[in-house]
């Protein structure tokens, strides 16, 4: 499916009545310290699986992949392995699909970051088998959703693939996340903070559609709200604990916010200008090569809240600055010489249907004004409270 399930003609299908309200979620979400070594037990007890494949990068296969393999073995399940290359692209998806079809697997366990999860979902869908996602970073909300962003082999967005179902199971070991880099967790917070502001925008605009092509439920918007509240309360402490490579209650809460709450909230609550702009930033090569999705989303949130003249603008900007997310264009390496590149970003943002989930006119001029207004606030906040956290993560 290249279109959302509930709006087959696209998000703004003409001549249709309003679509239903729909919320979508994975069958099981399991999170805790050390749960990785119980993966075999969960797979055996909850899924009828006899021959799973473990799908991860070369490094992932030799670390967390090995642990999952042993845990499956301890439960009497023999697995095969498949190595993720570098991109969630059609060529990579197709070649793995063929090899794994011949191997006769009945479940795919994707272990890694957002691109591994997205590739794994595509392969499992083609093989019509359940997919288990084991995130090793809390940098994106990819693990829980029923969609994958497919890239060109060069790494720019090609299309979004929608699936009839969310992953069967997500297993998040918070000890693994605690050992990953601080910048990944912080980027995940940027992606997660957008959830509430975008879902709330969609709830209040009857023309807006969520990623399923449907109207958002109150439940998914409430999930977005507690996601933002959790980040404001525990975000800094969680980043501190990852810096110290230690697990903590704050980290536990933020991992749930970045993975489950953000995942359910974005998919069923709906996206808006923040993600439309974030999707445009990779057009600028220096941004594409040096920044994470969640960092681009943070800049998108700055612009969206500016367009909405949101009372939360300053609070969000201060939070982003304290955890080290970019809040002005210079922090995204967009300085005076390449400022004109912002026009390319806006052009691409305007082509995304989610931009139209905003209730006000979204034009080149209004988006540019919003980006520049967000930039201005970001500079003012940086001047006032400094950029220590940003420098720590980016130098
Ligand atoms: Zn995102």
228: domain CATH number?
1.20.1090.10
Residue 20 maps to a domain: no
Co-location of 107 and 36 in the same domain: yes
Residue 64, Cβ density class (10 Å: 0-12 exposed, 13-18 middle, ≥19 buried)? buried
The answer to whether 242 and 177 are in contact (CB under 8 A) is yes
CA 159 / ligand 1 centre spacing (Å)? 15
Residue 247 maps to a domain: yes
The answer to whether 281 and 299 are in contact (CB under 8 A) is yes
pTM (2 decimals)?
A: 0.94
CA 103 / ligand 1 centre spacing (Å)? 33
Co-location of 121 and 209 in the same domain: no
Helices (H), the chain: 39-46, 58-62, 64-74, 90-103, 114-127, 174-179, 182-203, 218-243, 249-256, 262-264, 273-280, 285-290, 293-307, 313-323, 342-351, 364-385, 388-394
Co-location of 339 and 238 in the same domain: yes
Residue that finishes a domain, picked among 155, 177, 199 = 177
CA 47 / ligand 1 centre spacing (Å)? 29
Residue 362 maps to a domain: yes
CA 263 / ligand 1 centre spacing (Å)? 9
CA 277 / ligand 1 centre spacing (Å)? 11
If you write DSSP's letter for every residue of 130-199 in order, what string do you get?
A: -EEEEES--S-S-TT-SEEEEE-TTSSEEEEEE-SS--SEEEEEHHHHHHS-HHHHHHHHHHHHHHHHHH
Residue that finishes a domain, picked among 121, 152, 177 = 177
Residue that finishes a domain, picked among 177, 211, 227 = 177
Task: Report the C-alpha gap between 182 and 276 in whole angstroms.
Answer: 25
Residue 328 maps to a domain: yes
Q: Tens digits of per-residue pLDDT, 338-365?
A: 788 999 999 999 999 999 999 999 999 9
The confidence score (pLDDT) of residue 339 equals: 82
Q: How far is CA 202 from CA 211, 213, 355, in A?
A: 11, 12, 11
For 151, the domain range is 28-177
Task: Provide the domain count of the chain.
Answer: 2
CA 108 / ligand 1 centre spacing (Å)? 23
Q: Under 8 Å CB-to-CB from 69, ≥6 apart: which residues?
A: 54, 79, 81
CA 195 / ligand 1 centre spacing (Å)? 8
The confidence score (pLDDT) of residue 14 equals: 44
Residue 104, Cβ density class (10 Å: 0-12 exposed, 13-18 middle, ≥19 buried)? exposed
Residue 10 maps to a domain: no
Task: Report the C-alpha gap between 352 and 275 in whole angstroms.
Answer: 9
Angle between helices 114-127 and 90-103 (to 10 degrees): 50
CA 303 / ligand 1 centre spacing (Å)? 15
Co-location of 163 and 231 in the same domain: no
The confidence score (pLDDT) of residue 1 equals: 65
CA 141 / ligand 1 centre spacing (Å)? 6
Co-location of 245 and 389 in the same domain: yes
Handedness of CA 100, 101, 105, 110 (dihedral sign): positive
Q: What residues are neighbours of ligand 1 (ion), with CB under 5 Å?
A: 191
Co-location of 262 and 161 in the same domain: no
Co-location of 259 and 146 in the same domain: no
Residue 146 maps to a domain: yes
Co-location of 142 and 254 in the same domain: no
Tens of pLDDT, residue by residue, the chain (395 residues): 667 777 654 444 445 578 899 999 999 999 999 999 999 999 999 998 999 999 999 999 999 999 999 999 999 999 999 999 988 999 999 999 999 999 999 999 999 999 999 999 999 999 999 999 999 999 988 999 999 999 988 777 888 999 999 999 999 999 999 999 999 999 999 999 999 999 999 999 999 999 999 999 999 999 999 999 999 999 999 999 999 999 999 999 999 999 999 999 999 999 999 999 999 998 899 999 999 999 999 999 999 999 999 999 999 999 999 999 999 999 999 987 778 899 999 999 999 999 999 999 999 999 999 999 999 999 999 999 999 999 999 98
CA 297 / ligand 1 centre spacing (Å)? 7
Residue 376 maps to a domain: yes
Residue 2 maps to a domain: no
CA 304 / ligand 1 centre spacing (Å)? 14
Co-location of 104 and 189 in the same domain: no
Co-location of 203 and 98 in the same domain: no
Co-location of 205 and 354 in the same domain: yes
CA 71 / ligand 1 centre spacing (Å)? 31
Q: Tens digits of per-residue pLDDT, 262-299?
A: 999 999 999 999 999 999 998 899 999 999 999 999 99
CA 44 / ligand 1 centre spacing (Å)? 32
CA 170 / ligand 1 centre spacing (Å)? 18
The confidence score (pLDDT) of residue 9 equals: 47
CATH number for the domain including 38?
3.40.50.1970
The confidence score (pLDDT) of residue 204 equals: 95
Co-location of 352 and 214 in the same domain: yes
């Amino acid at each position: 499916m290249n279109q959302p399930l509930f709006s087959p003609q696209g998000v703004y299908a003409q001549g249709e009545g309003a679509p239903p309200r729909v919320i979508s979620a994975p069958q099981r979400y399991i999170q805790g310290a050390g749960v990785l070594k119980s993966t075999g037990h969960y797979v055996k007890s909850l899924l009828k699986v006899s021959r799973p494949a473990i799908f991860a990068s070369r490094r992932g296969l030799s670390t967390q992949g090995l642990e999952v393999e042993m845990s499956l073995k301890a439960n009497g399940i023999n697995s095969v392995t498949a190595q993720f290359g570098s991109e969630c692209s059609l060529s990579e998806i197709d070649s793995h699909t063929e090899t794994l079809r011949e191997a006769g697997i009945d479940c795919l366990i994707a272990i890694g970051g957002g691109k591994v999860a997205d590739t794994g979902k595509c392969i499992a869908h083609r093989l019509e088998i359940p997919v288990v996602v084991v995130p090793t970073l809390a940098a994106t909300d990819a693990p829980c959703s029923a969609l994958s962003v497919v890239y060109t082999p060069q790494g720019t967005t090609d299309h979004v693939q929608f699936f009839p179902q969310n992953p069967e199971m997500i297993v998040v070991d918070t000890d693994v996340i605690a050992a990953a880099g601080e910048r990944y967790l912080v980027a995940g917070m940027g992606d997660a903070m957008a959830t509430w502001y975008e879902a709330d925008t969609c709830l209040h605009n009857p023309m807006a559609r969520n990623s399923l092509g449907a109207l958002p439920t109150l439940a998914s918007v409430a999930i977005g709200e507690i996601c933002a509240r959790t980040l404001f309360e525990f975000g800094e402490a969680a980043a501190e604990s990852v810096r110290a490579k230690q697990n903590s209650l704050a980290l536990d809460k933020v991992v749930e916010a970045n993975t489950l709450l953000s995942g359910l909230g974005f998919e069923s609550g709906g996206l808006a200008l923040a993600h439309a702009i974030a999707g445009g930033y990779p057009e600028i090569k220096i941004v594409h090569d040096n920044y994470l999705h969640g960092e681009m989303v943070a800049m998108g949130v700055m612009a969206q809240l500016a367009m909405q003249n949101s009372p939360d603008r300053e609070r969000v900007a201060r939070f982003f600055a304290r955890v080290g997310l970019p809040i002005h264009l210079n922090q995204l390496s967009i300085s005076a010489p390449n400022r004109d590149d912002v026009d390319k970003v806006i052009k691409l943002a305007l082509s995304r249907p989610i931009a139209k989930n905003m209730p006000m006119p979204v034009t080149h001029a209004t988006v540019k004004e919003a980006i520049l207004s967000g930039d201005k606030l970001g500079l003012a906040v940086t001047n006032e409270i400094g950029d220590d956290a940003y420098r720590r993560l980016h130098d």
